[in-house]
């Protein structure tokens, strides 16, 4: 199953109040394994950056001045998102800004039915605990040493690892008959194809041939008083 884990950075908390998205980072996962495909973009918000927001993500007016407007990257973003579930932390915030930007440039809003909120999952699994991304990384042993400030792509990559843990962990070796999948970095290191790139194979025929059926019948006919005949006689 394909899923996109994403995060946004903004000028503030309220798209209805004039705040804009300034960064989005998206990570593709298939069957809860990162494929290596990402989408990342900065946007010129066409408004000044409040100092409080800049202190969170470090994106200044000067840095964003030459970046494209959201409308210039909207089609590329939508193509990457496709129609699969979209996973975010406190997802109503990110969905609100994403849909506000899409509506501003006359694109259809993303359906809220696609939303998967890791904050809701964390509260359900660990009630009463801290549920920030930092706290979840600490709980699950996810390395966040590079997270000096908020950054959409880095946060999406961290959240992808947290999401796997919130939904049961990788548990390689406990697949109970399902095909084992190497984690993406290890699979790449040893030259294995990932689930996203492995070619599909036609199912093999397993029905016995006429000759095999004949040999089986001959073998059975040589048995005296087989057990299954006695069981059949009592039913």
Report residue 177 as tokens: 């008959």
C-beta separation of 95 from 112 below 8 A = yes
- Does residue 127 or residue 149 have the better pLDDT? 127
- Catalytic positions, please? 150
C-beta separation of 57 from 149 below 8 A = yes
Asked if residue 83 belongs to a known ligand binding site, the reply is no
C-beta separation of 46 from 70 below 8 A = no
Is this model's pTM higher than 0.85 or not?
A: no
Taken as a whole, the chain contains a residue count of 235
Highest mean pLDDT among 67-81, 168-182, 191-205: 67-81
Domains along the chain with CATH numbers: 2-189 (3.30.420.10)
Indicate if the pLDDT at residue 148 is higher than 90.
no
* pLDDT band, residue 181 (cuts 50/70/90): very low
Asked if residue 225 belongs to a known ligand binding site, the reply is no
Other residues' Cβ atoms within 10 Å of the Cβ of residue 95: 21
* Virtual torsion, Cα 67, 68, 74, 76, nearest 10 deg: -80
Asked if residue 40 belongs to a known ligand binding site, the reply is no
**pLDDT at 223 (0 to 100):** 79
Lowest-pLDDT choice from 7-16, 69-78, 88-97, 213-222: 213-222
At residue 28, φ and ψ (nearest 5 deg) are -90, 135
Mean pLDDT over 12-17 rounds to 95
List the Cα angle 92/97/100 in 5-degree steps.
115
**pLDDT at 187 (0 to 100):** 44
* pLDDT band, residue 44 (cuts 50/70/90): very high
């Amino acid at each position: 199953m394909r899923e996109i884990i994403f995060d946004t950075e903004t000028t503030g908390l309220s798209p209805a109040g004039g705040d804009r998205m300034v960064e989005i980072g998206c990570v593709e996962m298939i069957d809860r394994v990162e494929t290596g495909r990402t989408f990342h973009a900065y946007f010129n918000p066409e408004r000044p950056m409040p100092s409080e927001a800049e202190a969170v993500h470090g994106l200044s007016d000067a840095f964003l001045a030459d970046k494209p407007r959201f409308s210039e990257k909207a089609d590329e973003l939508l193509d990457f998102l496709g129609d699969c579930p979209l996973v975010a932390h406190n997802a109503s915030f990110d969905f609100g800004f994403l849909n506000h930007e899409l509506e501003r440039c006359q694109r259809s809003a993303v359906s809220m039915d696609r939303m998967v909120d890791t904050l809701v999952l964390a509260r359900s699994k660990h009630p009463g605990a801290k549920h920030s991304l930092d706290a979840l990384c600490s709980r699950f042993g996810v390395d966040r040493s590079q997270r000096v400030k908020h950054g959409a792509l880095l946060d999406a990559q961290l959240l992808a690892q947290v999401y796997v843990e919130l939904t049961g962990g990788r548990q390689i070796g406990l697949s109970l008959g399902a095909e084992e999948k190497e984690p993406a970095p290890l699979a790449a290191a040893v030259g294995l194809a990932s689930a996203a790139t492995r070619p599909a194979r036609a199912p093999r025929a397993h029905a016995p041939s006429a000759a095999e059926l004949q040999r089986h019948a001959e073998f059975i006919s040589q048995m005296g008083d087989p057990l299954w005949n006695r069981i059949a006689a009592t039913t």
